Amino acid sequence: MSKEINTIGVLTSGGDAPGMNAAIRAVVRTAIANGKKVKGIRRGYSGLLEEDIIDMDSKSVADIIQRGGTILYTARSAEFRKEEGKQKAVEICKKHGIDGLVVIGGDGSFKGAQRLAELGINTVGIPGTIDLDIACTEYTVGFDTAVNTAMECIDKIRDTSTSHERCSIIEVMGRSAGYIALWCGIANGAEDILIPERYDHDEQRIINNIIAKRKVGKTHHIIVNAEGIGDSYGMAKRIEEATGIETRATIIGHVQRGGSPTCKDRVYASAMGAKAAEILCNGGSNRVVGYRHGEFVDYDFNEGLAMTKDIDAYMYDMAKKLSRS
Ligand code: F6P
């Protein structure tokens, strides 16, 4: 059932991601072009519950497309997770005349948006996370920038690792998703890629691999660890003890979440922002925007949130084959 709306709110929620500003800009400018008013909600759902709401116009999103982070700030809200928090959020939206809402974030944020839609606020989600772990889309805002940042860091570590003929463990972000690790593992020619979706906890195999590679003349050994594997420093110590090869661990950390978005993140985030605003302007609700099979698409939240995805088996197997020499 479609409902005409007058005012679109936009918020960013959960971990920030480069390209979120491009998405905000596109939401604001598309809504204005369609004759709607726009309100920015600062600090995600937490800010919504605190009525941290500002009027936005075309000028408020000037000069932000190239900036990392999110001009609206972001947060995780324990209060909003509760049903009473969601009911309160609806009352606040009504008080401020917000009848359509764009939520830029991950699955957890979308579940909140889905409930708001049931409670009468038209909502649309845009996948914003560096982790790429949203099932209904092959692209999430920020992944491309994050993976390029991590790749550049690993290139640098590789230089010093080779000079010292060391083994290097580099931990990239991804608590439960190994996409950044897998992509960097391939792009940086890592000898081993450890991801939560596939890790078998066989450290002896990793040690044997290092020794075997050293015997055939490899002067460095790069292991890319996803954050979810954990204990990179402990692993480095155990590897050094077992192999006699100097081993260092580097946790790249939040460097991956910042920085100027890549061209892809700017363009795709813009397309998704525009699409989200158009859906609301056309009376749509309870939708999540995605990118699949070469197209920008949208799904009902129920359908999108029910989807599952796993690491691409071809990519994972290919990475393993290429690191075998
Ligand atoms: O979801 C994005 C992400 O960067 C994950 O890769 C990471 O595990 C997590 O957020 C870190 O969250 P925080 O910034 O709250 O420590």
Render pLDDT for 208-254 as a digit per residue (tens, 0 to 9): 999 999 999 999 899 999 999 999 999 999 999 999 999 999 999 99
Q: How far is the CA of 202 from the centre of ligand 1 (A)?
A: 26
CB of 131 within 6 A of ligand 1: the answer is yes
What pLDDT digit, counting tens, does each position of 135-156 carry? 999 999 999 999 999 999 999 9
Angle between helices 232-243 and 203-215 (to 10 degrees): 50
pLDDT of residue 324: 75
Q: How far, in Å, is the centroid of ligand 1 from the Cα of 179?
A: 13
Best CA proximity match to 8, nearest among 232, 309, 285: 285
Neighbouring-strand partners of residue 92: none
Contact 137, 290 (CB under 8 A): yes
133 is catalytic: no
What is the 8-class DSSP label of residue 128? B
Active-site residue, selected from the candidate residues 16, 131, 144, 265 = 131
Look at residue 4 in the predicted model and tell me its pLDDT. 87
In angstroms, the first-to-last Cα distance of the chain is 58
Residue 236: how many other CB atoms lie within 10 Å:
21
CA 101 – CA 104 distance, rounded (Å): 10
Is-contact 147 184, C-beta < 8 A? Answer: yes
Provide CB contacts within 8 A for 69, sequence distance 6+: 16, 18, 20, 21, 258
Residue 128: beta bridge partners?
A: 141
Are 131 and 174 in contact by the 8 Å Cβ rule? The answer is: yes
pLDDT > 90 in the chain, percent: 97
Task: Tell me what pLDDT residue 1 has.
Answer: 54
**173, 179, 183, 195: which to mutate for ligand 1, most atoms within 8 A of CB?**
173
Q: Looking at residue 32, what is its pLDDT?
A: 98
Average of per-residue pLDDT across 293-301 = 98
The residue whose CA has the least distance to atom 13 of ligand 1 is: 15
14 CA distance to ligand 1 centroid (A)? 8
> What is the residue with the minimal CA distance to atom 12 of ligand 1?
15
Cβ 101 vs Cβ 112: under 8 Å: no
**Among residues 84, 87, 86, 5, which one has the least CA distance to residue 39?**
5
Backbone angles phi, psi at 115, to 5 degrees: -65, -40
Contact 120, 296 (CB under 8 A): no
Counting from 1 in the atom list of ligand 1, the atom nearest the Cα of 106 is 1
Q: Which atom of ligand 1 is nearest to the CA of 174?
A: 6
Average pLDDT over residues 290-298: 98
Local confidence band at 325 (pLDDT 50, 70, 90 cut-offs): low
Average pLDDT over residues 313-323: 95
Q: Are 288 and 124 in contact (CB under 8 A)?
A: yes
3-state secondary structure of 294: coil
Residues of the chain above pLDDT 70, percent = 99
Is the CB of residue 99 below 6 angstroms from any atom belonging to ligand 1?
no
What are the two backbone dihedrals, phi and then psi, of residue 95, each rounded to the nearest 5 degrees?
-60, -35
Tracing tokens 């015997």 back to the chain, one arrives at: 215
2 pLDDT above the threshold of 70: no
Q: Which helix (H) or strand (E) holds 221?
A: strand 221-226
* Crossing angle (nearest 10°) for helices 263-281 and 20-33: 40
CB of 74 closer than 6 angstroms to any ligand 1 atom: no
d(CA 58, CA 155): 40
The ligand 1 atom nearest the CA atom of 173: 6
For the stretch 164-211, pLDDT in tens is 999 999 999 999 999 999 999 999 999 999 999 999 999 999 999 999
Q: What is the CA radius of gyration of the chain?
A: 22
Question: Residue with the nearest Cα to atom 15 of ligand 1?
Answer: 15
Is there an atom of ligand 1 within 6 Å of 25 CB?
no
Confidence of residue 114 (pLDDT cuts 50, 70, 90): very high
From 176, 14, 22, select the one nearest 109 (Cα to Cα).
14
What is the widest separation between alpha-carbon atoms in the chain? 70
Ligand 1 centre distance from Cα of residue 257 (Å): 8
Q: Is 80 within 8 Å of 47 (Cβ atoms)?
A: no
Average pLDDT, the chain: 97
